[in-house]
A and B are shown apart, each in its own frame.
Chain A
Amino acid sequence: MRPLEGLVVLEFCQFLAGPSAGLKLADLGARVIKIERPVKGEACRQLSIKDLFVDDSSLLFHTINRNKESFAADLKNPDDLVLVKKLIAKADIMTHNFRPGVMEKIGLAFDDTLTINPKIIYGTITGYGDKGPWANKPGQDLLLQSLSGLSWLSGRKSQEPVPFGLAVADLMCGNHFVQGILAALLKRAKTGKGVLVEVSLLESVLDVQFEAITSYLNDGGQQPERGDVKGSAHAFLSAPYGVYQTQEGYLSLAMGDLLFIGDALEIDLSKYADKALWFSKRDEIRELLSEKLLTQTADYWLNLLQQKGIWCGKVLNYKELNNQSFVNELELKQTVQNSAGEKMVTTRSPIQLDGEILGSTKAAPKVGEDNLAIHEEFIR
């Protein structure tokens, strides 16, 4: 049995951070019911990338909301609110990511909810916490990356700030939210009481940087400084760490004994015998490595270096990745199907339990698709 079997989650969250947490809980066995406004539903349904839609909802929405049910209700309509409160009375967990104050106005703040269900686990995601001058700023991923210092860690020193090319603040926050909710379940199992779980995008994107921030705090306030050679990969790591262009394709070199790597590549690096230079002269050293690596293909180098136990790898794009045999061996894809029979291929849960993949064939629901069944089961 999946660990969260029998638990009911009401998801009032929209967009990415909260719903990505709901997806993890669903794959771990919980029954996740999205509470959505009638007709239009969650805002993410209309947010598409490259105009890709599965049905009335975007592929993006479908990616984040598979394996869930939908209950359409207008929280501003008193009749609907009564129904939602009846649902809350039977639920184990509810989550939302409204800006501070919104749920208070509706009458569904944590304290209100406790009077309906004293054992509820109530999870909230905010952008920046609930106090301070940023509390009402929009909690949008790129803004969080920009404010938190994250954009100074990738790319090259002579470049502008380089953000991570996907919603890392949202996704890490979703992951932390899952951890907090699961820990709250353990707390509730001991105390029998409701629990409040709070995370914010800002704290999560700072937690991702715990190493870099701790270095900054203990290194006399020195800012991280990116290397300035193409393919620089980490502001704090010495040569050869980085990506290199070859005659055909790109090669990554992770940390390792530089002199040994120099020997393997037949480059004279003897003037860098002092390990301190591997950091202070990393640009110079990486230029030397780049020059040599350009003379053969990535496959050639990979063969040579892997035999010697040097940590290196090929740089793939999605097409190449998709052609690797491990994609099928490890069953990294799964096909989901909606109630109308439409199918799409997507990824699956990254967690395996008792040797089993936590797969699911259920696609995202249409708005209000489960109203009738939920009404029968929980409300009537």
Chain B
Amino acid sequence: MKPLEDYLIVDFSQFLSGPSASLRLADLGARVIKIEKPGTGDICRTLYTSDLIMNGESSVFHTINRNKESFAIDFKQPSELEKLKKLLAKADVVMHNFRPGVMERVGLSYDDVKKINPNIIYGEISGYGTKSELRDLPGQDLLLQSLTALTWLSGNQEDGPVPMGLSIVDMLAGAHLAQGILAALYRKATHNIGAVVQVSMLESSFDFQFETITTFFNDGGELPVRTKSNNAHAYLGAPYGIYKTKNGYLALAMGSIPVLASLLKCDALLQFPENKFGLRDEIKNILAEHLQTQDTEFWLNILEPADIWCAKVLNYQQLFSEDGFKVLDFTQQVEMLDGYSYKTTRCPIKIDGEIFTSTKGSPKLGQDNERIIKEFIDC
């Protein structure tokens, strides 16, 4: 059995952060109903990335919204709002990621929903919390990465700010909301009380950087400094980084420099008897030059038997042909109601040996209206 079987989640959220949380809950067994605006629906449906349109809608939407139902309803109309409230009365969880104030204005704040459903778990994601002066700014991933200084950790010293190349803050906030909702559901199961769970992208980005921010707080205000080349972590010494080889790239995580010098037969490294943090640029330079003289496999064959932490650097095509990837069964085929079928990834969590897959593709806007009305509203 799936752990969240029998739970009903009504999800007003759009884009990535909220929907990524409800996807996880859906994969864990919950029934997730997306509440969407008639006509346009979740804005993510038309948020195209790299021109990739699948079955008339964005690939991003299909990735994040599989395994869900769609209920198109204009709840700004009082009569429609009343219908929606009948659905909310039966829900275990309501969640949204509107800017602060929006749900209050339409009459669906936590207090409003509690009146219909006293033990509801009410989850919300904001960009910057509901109290700060920034509360009305757009909660967009790149803007949050920029605001929270995340852009000064990746890339090399002279690169300027380097954002992490995916919507990492959205995904963190979604992961934290899912945690808060699950914890609240557990409390509801054991004590029969509801909860409001709030996360913000701002706080999630702080949490993600808890090690580096805490270091900053306790390091006399010294800013993190990336290495001049081959940087992979501003606070770690050589060799930590990715290096070019004759035919590709090699990642080197740890290893004492004298040991590496002898394994790699790199005499120029012998001048560094210790892993001095202050000398990491020089050490990385020498390593970078030396590692270019042979193929990746040549180095791996020396380093791996010696228990040096290293790996080749793969792209998706190379990764997908590796047995280490294939044994995971990490991709799955899903199908939409109209028969359109696509491949995507699955839930990363395994429980009692069970991998949580689902063949259900993303919903067409409003495809489940009739059934939901019959089941929850006209009954």
* Contact surface of A with B, Cβ cutoff 8 Å: 1, 3-4, 24, 28-29, 49-52, 59-60, 62-64, 128-129, 131-134, 137-138, 140-143, 145-149, 151-155, 159-168, 171-173, 175-176, 178-180, 182-187, 189-191, 195-200, 202-204, 206-219, 221, 223-224, 226, 230-237, 241-243, 245, 250, 252, 254-255, 276, 279, 311-322, 325-326, 329-330, 332-333, 344-347, 349-355
- Assembly CA distance A186 to B132 (angstroms): 34
In the bound complex, what is the Cα–Cα distance between A207 and B348 (angstroms)? 6
User: Do B343 and A214 have beta carbons less than 8 Å apart?
Assistant: yes
Q: Report if B161 contacts A (CB, 8 A).
A: yes
| A346 engages B253 (CB within 8 Å) | no
- Across the interface, do A315 and B154 meet the contact criterion of CB distance under 8 Å? no
Give the nearest-CB partner of A127 in chain B. B324
List 6 additional A-B contacts (Cβ < 8 Å) besides A213-B316, A214-B344. Answer: A50-B222, A143-B310, A167-B233, A182-B186, A237-B50, A252-B146
Stretch of B71-79, B187-195, B260-268 on the interface side: B187-195
Chain B residues with Cβ below 8 Å from A191 are 1
Residues of A within 8 A of B242 (CB): 142, 146, 151, 160-163
Partner of A311 from B62, B131, B138, B231 at Cβ < 8 Å: B138
Task: Flag whether B369 is at the interface (Cβ < 8 A).
Answer: no
Cβ-defined contact, A163 with B232, below 8 A = yes
A255 to B200, CA, bound (A): 20
- 6 tightest Cβ-Cβ pairs between the two chains A and B: A165-B153, A153-B165, A134-B324, A132-B327, A182-B182, A313-B143
**Contacting residues, chain A, for B254 (C-beta < 8 A):** 140
A352, B198: Cβ atoms closer than 8 Å: yes
- Least CB distance from B360 to A in Å reads 15
Indicate if the CB atoms of A3 and B183 lie closer than 8 Å.
yes
Partner of A350 from the list B132, B168, B206, B343 (CB cut-off 8 Å) is B206
- The answer to whether A352 and B224 have CB atoms under 8 Å apart is no
Q: How far is the CA of A319 from the CA of B221 in the complex (A)?
A: 7
Mark B149-167 against chain A: 1 for CB-CB distance below 8 A, else 0: 1011111000111111111
Contacts of A233 in B (CB 8 A): 142, 145, 163, 165
Which of the residues A151, A187, A317, A345 comes within 8 Å of B152, measured between beta carbons? Answer: A317
User: Per-residue 0/1 for B311-322: is the Cβ within 8 Å of any A Cβ (1 yes, 0 no)?
Assistant: 111111101001
CA distance A120 to B236 in the complex (A): 38
Measured between beta carbons, the chain A residues less than 8 angstroms from B253 are 138, 140-143
- In the complex the two chains form, what is the Cα distance from A312 to B143 in whole Å? 6
6 contacts between A and B (CB under 8 A): A1-B191, A149-B319, A155-B154, A168-B164, A330-B200, A347-B213
Known contacts A49-B235, A347-B210, A350-B199, A311 near B204 by CB under 8 Å: no
Most chain B CB inside 10 Å of its own CB: which residue of A60, A152, A164: A164
Q: Tell me how far the C-beta of A380 lies from the nearest C-beta in chain B, rounded to whole angstroms.
A: 28
Task: Determine the chain B residues whose CB is within 8 A of the CB of A153 once the complex forms.
Answer: 164-166
> Contacts A28-B183, A209-B166, A350-B206: A165 and B226 contacting too (C-beta < 8 A)?
yes
Q: Are A147 and B312 in contact (CB under 8 A)?
A: yes
Given the complex, which residues of B lie within 8 Å of A279, measured CB to CB? 50-51
Q: Give the chain A neighbours of B51 by CB distance below 8 A.
A: 276, 279
Residues on A with C-beta less than 8 A from B213 are 318, 346-347
Q: Which residue of A lies closest to B201 (CB)?
A: A350
- Contacts A154-B165, A350-B204; A319 near B176 (Cβ below 8 A): no
Residue among A49, A131, A196, A252 making CB contact with B352, cutoff 8 Å: A196
On chain A, the residues within 8 Å of B138 by CB distance are 254, 311
Q: Is B215 an interface residue (CB 8 A)?
A: yes
Taking A217-B343, A350-B176 as contacts, is the C-beta distance between A321 and B147 under 8 angstroms?
A: yes
Check A203 against B328 for contact (C-beta < 8 Å). yes
Contact B234 A183 (CB under 8 A): no
Whether, in the assembled complex, B378 has its beta carbon less than 8 Å from a beta carbon of chain A, the answer is no
Q: CA separation between A234 and B151, bound complex, in Å? A: 13
B12 sits at the interface (CB 8 A): no
- Hey, which chain B residues are within 8 Å of A204, CB to CB? 348
Specify which chain B residues have a CB less than 8 angstroms from the CB of A232 in the assembled complex: 165
> Is there a chain A Cβ closer than 8 Å to B49's Cβ?
yes
B152 CB contacts on chain A under 8 angstroms: 317-318
Whether A146 lies near B314 (C-beta < 8 A) is yes
Query: Could you say which of B31-39, B52-60, B96-104 contacts chain A?
Result: B52-60
Interface check B203, CB cutoff 8 A? yes
Q: Which residues of B contact A29 (CB under 8 A)?
A: 183
Residue B207 CB within 8 A of the other chain = yes
Contact of A179 with B351 in the complex, beta carbons under 8 Å: no
In chain B between 229 and 268, which residues have their CB closer than 8 angstroms to a CB of chain A? 230-236, 240-242, 244, 249, 251, 253-254
Q: Is B337 an interface residue (CB 8 A)?
A: no
Are the CB atoms of B186 and A223 closer together than 8 Å?
no
Inter-chain contacts of B236 with A (CB < 8 A): 49
Q: Is the CB of A252 within 8 A of B316?
A: no
- A193: min CB distance to chain B, Å: 9
Note all chain A residues with C-beta closer than 8 A to B172.
Answer: 172, 175, 350
- Cα A333 to Cα B203 with chains together (Å): 10
B5: nearest chain-A partner, CB-CB: A190
Contacts of B358 in A (CB 8 A): none
Residues of A within 8 A of B182 (CB): 179, 182-183, 185-186
Q: Does B164 contact A154, Cβ atoms closer than 8 Å?
A: yes
Kindly report which residue of chain B lies nearest to residue A23, judged by CB atoms: B210
Chain A contacts of B128 at CB under 8 A? Answer: 326
How far apart are the CA atoms of A329 and B312 in the complex, in Å?
A: 45
0 or 1 for each of B295-324: is its CB under 8 Å from A? (1 = yes): 000000000000101111111110100111
Residue pair B330, A160 in contact (C-beta under 8 Å): no
Selected contact of A187 from candidates B1, B147, B215, CB within 8 Å: B1
Q: Say how far B312's CB is from chain A's closest CB, in angstroms.
A: 7
Q: Which chain A residues border B60 with CB–CB below 8 Å?
A: 211
Given contacts A197-B350, A236-B49, A350-B204, contact A254 B142 (CB under 8 A): yes
Which residue from B226, B231, B351 sits with its C-beta under 8 Å from A184? B351
Are the C-beta atoms of B206 and A347 separated by less than 8 Å?
Answer: yes
**Of the residues B160, B206, B234, B317, contact of A221 by C-beta under 8 Å:** B317
